[in-house]
Amino acid sequence: MTADRTGITGGGDGARSTAEGRLRAALRSPGGSTRLQAALSAGTYPAPAYIDALVERFGLEPELNVRETLTWALTRHDPQAAIDRLTAELGSTSAQARRQALHTLSKIGDARGWPAITDALLQDADDEVARTAWRTAAALVPGDRVAGLARILATQFGRGDEQVQASLSRVFATLGEPAAPVVDEAGTASDRRVRLHAVATARIMRDPTASFEVAMTEARRLAGAPTRLAVVPVDWDDARGEVLREAQQAEIRGLYGGQDTEPGVKPTADDIAVFVVALDGARPVGCGGLRRIDDVQGEIKRMYVAPSARGGAVARAILDALEEAARGSGWERLVLETGIEQHAAMRFYEREGYERIPPFGAYVGSATSVCYGRELA
């Protein structure tokens, strides 16, 4: 048994007797440290045969630090060969693979990677892929293509939650003056969500040190948008709540191929202790409810914000109202379930202090469930 330059002990026959074969085997190891060491070795002693093995791991590798090391290793290889393979990976059905390939192109930083950034990637349905594509495009775009890139990116104004919107605004700030006319035009859009995002982006472009939250607050003030929302308790069968819940369920089914993946008993008027609706003036823009689990614990159900009202304070206002109602009921803890494809929801709850917990109740064994909990002060 000897160690070759990849640092992978080997021997044997067939593909595993080659350095490439041993690298592939090490990258499939159940041990994260072994996979990390293999990627480090492949970057320390680069070889053309390693490029495929490194890129193929993008969509499979569960650990962020290993994925980042795969990217580092590829930056140590011939740029054109790496770019060619990464370009092919951008067509993967795996969102993680597309995201990591884009990230690696940005780290290589070679302008030859620019043609790989397609409009489809800039408008990818996965928020994290799209955000990575925006940043990579801004890093690689030739000077004479900035205005065209800005026009494509402007189609994404109003998209996603506050974190996604902030990412797009920062990209526009990176593009600078050539992108300003497109941002100004979007600032007059009829869609209020697009308009507010564009106005906030213009503020960020003028002062890149400003926080996105401050920029959005100013945009709402300039647009005459309400700066305070009303969150009111309503009956479960209130028509406004029914419309919002139906919209939520339709949106969720769309994320999971049209399937209803929610485990357990659906919430009803019989088991929902509190239900609230958020109103922007007279317009219902969000909702949420609480289901009793026991004397000290409740579950958040049907938390939803209409797409036109996302990116602001609506979700936080609903959550605040639910937590206050829970405290009033003597509950000490709130838990909730969301899904593996609901990335914006996961980011929101984590920002609000909720921590991942093991699946509970009907969610035990569910392949699509992600659960969170928080102790109430």
Q: Which of 257-266, 271-280, 333-342 has the lowest mean pLDDT?
A: 257-266
Q: By the 8 A CB rule, do 191 and 275 touch?
A: no
Residues 190-224 have pLDDT tens digits of 888 899 999 999 999 999 999 999 999 888 877 65
Q: With bands split at pLDDT 50, 70 and 90, how would you rate the model's confidence at 228?
A: low
Q: pLDDT at position 14, please?
A: 47
For 349, the token pair is 């709850």
Whether residue 248 is found in the same domain as residue 370: yes
Whether residue 280 is found in the same domain as residue 300: yes
Residue 227 has pLDDT above 90, yes or no: no
Whether residue 294 is found in the same domain as residue 252: yes
Q: pLDDT at position 62, please?
A: 93
Q: By the 8 A CB rule, do 304 and 349 touch?
A: no
Residues 159, 160, 164, 169, Cα dihedral to 10°:
30
Q: Report residue 24: phi and psi, to 5°.
A: -60, -45
Q: Is residue 285 in a domain?
A: yes
d(CA 269, CA 286): 18
Residues 10-25 have pLDDT tens digits of 444 444 458 889 999 9
Mean pLDDT of the chain: 91
Give this prediction's pTM: 0.61
Whether residue 216 is found in the same domain as residue 261: no
- Give the bridge partners for 230, in sequence order: 279
Scanning the chain, the segments in alpha helix (DSSP H) are: 19-27, 32-44, 50-56, 64-75, 79-89, 95-108, 119-122, 127-140, 146-154, 162-175, 180-186, 192-206, 212-223, 239-255, 314-328, 343-351
The whole domain housing 206 covers 141-225
Last residue of a domain, one of 225, 259, 294: 225
Q: pLDDT at position 6, please?
A: 44
Whether residue 307 is found in the same domain as residue 192: no
Q: pLDDT at position 119, please?
A: 97
Whether residue 182 is found in the same domain as residue 312: no
Say which residues have a Cβ less than 8 Å from residue 250's Cβ, sequence separation at least 6: none
Q: Which of 108-112, 202-206, 226-230, 329-333 has the lowest mean pLDDT?
A: 226-230
Q: Report residue 258: phi and psi, to 5°.
A: 85, 0
Residue 63 has pLDDT above 50, yes or no: yes
Q: pLDDT at position 11, please?
A: 45
d(CA 174, CA 307): 27
Q: What length does the chain have? A: 377
Residues 349-360 have pLDDT tens digits of 998 999 999 999
Q: By the 8 A CB rule, do 158 and 197 touch?
A: yes
Whether residue 161 is found in the same domain as residue 265: no
For 111, the token pair is 């302008």
Whether residue 212 is found in the same domain as residue 259: no
d(CA 188, CA 158): 13
- Mean pLDDT throughout 54-63? 95
d(CA 355, CA 368): 17
Q: With bands split at pLDDT 50, 70 and 90, how would you rate the model's confidence at 188?
A: confident
Q: What DSSP designation does 266 have?
A: P
CATH label of the domain that carries residue 348 = 3.40.630.30
Strands 333-339 and 297-305: parallel
Cα–Cα separations (whole angstroms), residue 198 to 9, 173, 201: 55, 12, 5
- Total count of domains within the chain: 2
Whether residue 198 is found in the same domain as residue 305: no
Cα–Cα separations (whole angstroms), residue 229 to 12, 17, 39, 193, 316: 68, 66, 50, 16, 11
Q: pLDDT at position 199, please?
A: 92
Burial 253-289 (b: 16+ CB within 10 A, else e): eebeeeeebbbeeebeeebbebbbbbbbeeebbbbbb
Whether residue 169 is found in the same domain as residue 287: no
Compute how many other C-beta atoms are within 10 angstroms of the C-beta atom of residue 1: 6
d(CA 61, CA 39): 11
Q: pLDDT at position 328, please?
A: 95
Last residue of a domain, one of 176, 194, 225: 225
Last residue of a domain, one of 167, 202, 225: 225
Whether residue 260 is found in the same domain as residue 171: no
Residues 300-332 have pLDDT tens digits of 999 999 987 876 678 989 999 999 999 999 999
Q: With bands split at pLDDT 50, 70 and 90, how would you rate the model's confidence at 38?
A: very high
Type of residue found at 164 = V
Q: pLDDT at position 48, please?
A: 94
Question: Which candidate, 220, 204, 200, places its Cα nearest to that of 313?
Answer: 220
Say which residues have a Cβ less than 8 Å from residue 339's Cβ, sequence separation at least 6: 252, 255, 256, 261, 345, 368, 369, 370
For 200, the token pair is 């906030």
- Mean pLDDT throughout 243-259? 93
Residue 1 has pLDDT above 50, yes or no: no
